[in-house]
Structure 1
Amino acid sequence: MVEVSVVLPTHNRPELMKLGVESVLAQGTTVTGEVVIVFDACPVEVPDVPVPDGWIVRGISNTRSRGLAGARNSGILAAEGRLVAFLDDDDEWLPGKLDAQLRRFAEKPDAMVVGTAMVVDDGDNRIVRRVPSDELSHEDFLRNRNPGLHSSSLMFRREVLLGDLGLIDEELPRSYGEDYDILLRGSALGLVTVVNEPLVRVLWNGQSYYFGQWAAYAEALQYLLAKHPDFATIPAALGRIEAQVAFALASAGKRKESRSWAWRALRHNPGQVKAALALAISWKLVTPQAITKIVQKFGRGI
């Protein structure tokens, strides 16, 4: 019986994907498992890697909607493990990650999600990003994305993904924020718990398919606002998302629309720096590239 299925969507990045697969197989755990590589709009070419006893590596095509959400769902539906973990094709698991999460699931068998903290690697620096608490509530996620909790760190019980929690939302524009959406949904249903050690390496050097897709960011964030009306119950949380929409719209050149969102955000949350930055971008006082470059030096994103 397979204990853990690792779902790894990929699109034309064979070398990075191979490193990710190797990082799973190097975990040295005693449980059985599989790596399900989901090839999205590209040929199925499983890398030639040494596979330890009790594990298999297999490749499938994404048979659902094009993009990350559909590819994750293809992998979830093909998975045979009791637990399902995610790994993006440009990230790697660090030693001890799998065993640490298995121990947490043993301690908290009813958890909706078990994650870990991460290390951000921009090619020059490695910055550790932890999460404020080992247990996160729905309100915590409304108030803050808690970005130390990355999609490549998440693990679920497969029965939950196929049941109450449900699959990844394939309606999300360009699949942006699909991990945040499932954390919002999961935290509304039960416990989200974190092994608060940096056990995932996340590569941030401009290789992301989302990098600079400002119009898509804005569209997806508005979708999330409409999907999760609980944001409106906390003005500061609502203002935070509105400020992100404003920043994305300004960065996409939609200056008038951006200002409307920025003022709305500041009414709900006067301390929202992103809203002020959106106004500055809309008035051409600063560029989004300059701001993004600065925040990424600190291992953060916009």
Structure 2
Amino acid sequence: MTTHVSVVIPTRDRPQLLRRAISSVLAQSSDVTVEIIVVFDGSAVESLADLDAGRHRIRTLPNNRTRGLAGARNTGIAAASNDYVAFCDDDDEWLPGKLAAQLPLLDDPHVPLVATGIRVLTTRGAHDRPSPARATHEDLLRSRITELHPSSFLFRTADARGRLGGIDEDLPASYGEDYDLLLRAAQLGDIVAVPEPLTLVHWDRSSYFTDRWRGVADGLGYLLDKHAGFATAPVGRARIEGQIAFAHGALGEHRSARTWAGRALRDDWRQLRAYLALIVSLRILSGRRVIAALNARGRGV
């Protein structure tokens, strides 16, 4: 039996990458039919009439909600006409069997969200990052579990519009909207995943967030305040404090960087992000250089 899935792809001014992402979604196995909803966020809507969708369907819409990734995702969720909805970023790709491998995991009504492992493509090659098969709310407080990437997310459309509550459009710069969604979903039931790296994540080009450190700092601070569980998860809290410290260091706000690094180290003296933030705040290395070195190895701050 054919399953129908709506796939939301937010985009802005990346036509070639967008077409690569769409092509990978159209290449899903024959027992899945997709409706691709491309949401243009802050750029002119293209018809994409040059693309042959075959048995599938491509729709293009403007973001009619809050500008940014969160509003664009919500615009796509609202427009979805199928029982299942998935995300794919415009600079990422899927392998052909992705949806077919994930869909059976949603037969369990207690599962709110399904992901896959990822293959990170960098300037130095490919790095396979298998995901855990299951993650609890406590797991996600301790660690972001970056293998659970938003380009791999699949869930029921009714859940996205209902008990999951959509994407939080109040998040500064939409930064961390995927982590926020995972934390909220995991309060409803465990996140499950196909560990195999069926989602291709491209770190061989600049991300929109690479140099937008103010949004990173403000977004992560918002998440610390929003999720009360971090109060009892010092290791997870230290991780976010270390990321905030690094963002301040990259902004040249060295006193704030050292303050946040101190908080992180009081919560967890092993928090490496705090030490990286101190290195940046002391001008030993620039934030951009640190990020470039980490990304080349398939890692991030």
Residues 109, 189 of structure 1: alpha-carbon distance in 2 compared, 3 angstrom cutoff: closer
Match for residue 118 of structure 2? 118
**Alignment-mate amino acid for residue 78 of structure 1:** A
Deviations 1:62-119 (A, max 9, x none): 100111110100000000110100011011111211101112223x343110000111
Deviation at 1:244, TM superposition (A): 1.0
Work out the CA distance in 1 between the residues paired with 2:210 and 2:277.
18
Deviation at 1:2, TM superposition (A): 7.3
Does 1:19 pair with 2:17?
A: no
Count of equivalent residues: 299
Q: Which residue of 1 aligns with 2:40?
A: 39
For the 8 Å contact 2:26–2:34, the answer to whether it is kept is: no
Q: Contact 2:122/2:297 (CA < 8 Å) preserved in 1?
A: no
Whole-Å separation in 1 of the counterparts to 2:235 and 2:88? 31
For residues 28 and 3 of structure 2, the distance between their equivalents in structure 1, rounded to whole angstroms, comes to: 16
Question: Which residue in the other structure is 1:296 paired with?
Answer: 295
Name structure 2 gaps, 5 residues minimum: none
In 2: Cα distance, 1:296 partner to 1:18 partner: 24
Task: Give the AA of the match of 1:278.
Answer: A
CA shift, 1:124, in A, is: 3.9
Deviations for 1:192-232, whole angstroms, at most 9, x for unmatched residues? 10100111111113331111211211111100100112111
Match of 2:54 among 46, 52, 55: 52
1:12 is matched by which residue type in structure 2? D
CA distance in 1, matches of 2:289, 2:29: 42
CA distance in 2, matches of 1:52, 1:211: 36
Native 8 Å contact 1:92 1:200 kept in 2:
yes
Query: Counterpart in 2 of 1:286?
Result: 285
Per the normalisation by structure 2, the TM-score is 0.96
- 1:118-171 Cα offsets, whole Å, 9 max, x none, are 11112441111122x201000111111000111100011111111111110111
- What letter matches 2:26 in structure 1? L
Take 2:210 and 2:151, find their aligned partners in 1: how far apart are those partners?
Answer: 17
RMSD: 1.4
| 1:67 aligned residue | 68
User: Can you list the C-alpha shifts for 1:15-34, whole angstroms capped at 9, x where unaligned?
Assistant: 11111111111112323330
| CA distance, structure 2, for counterparts of residue 79 and residue 89 of structure 1 | 17
TM superposition score normalised by structure 1: 0.95
Query: Which residue number in structure 1 is paired with residue 196 of structure 2?
Result: 197
- SS of the aligned residue for 1:36 comes to strand
1:156 aligns with 2:155: yes
The share of aligned pairs that are identical, in percent, is 45
Residue identity opposite 1:95 in structure 2: P
Counterpart residue number, 2:175: 176
Cα distance in structure 2, aligned partners of 1:33 and 1:298? 33
Partner of 1:231: 230
Matches within 5 A, 1:81-100: 81-100=82-101
Is the partner of 2:67 in helix, strand or coil?
coil
- Determine whether 1:211 maps to 2:210: yes
- Counterpart-to-counterpart distance in 2, 1:123 and 1:92: 17
Shift, 1:299, TM fit = 0.3
- Matched to 1:150, the amino acid is H
Q: Secondary structure of the equivalent of 1:181?
A: helix
Letter in 2 for 1:115: A
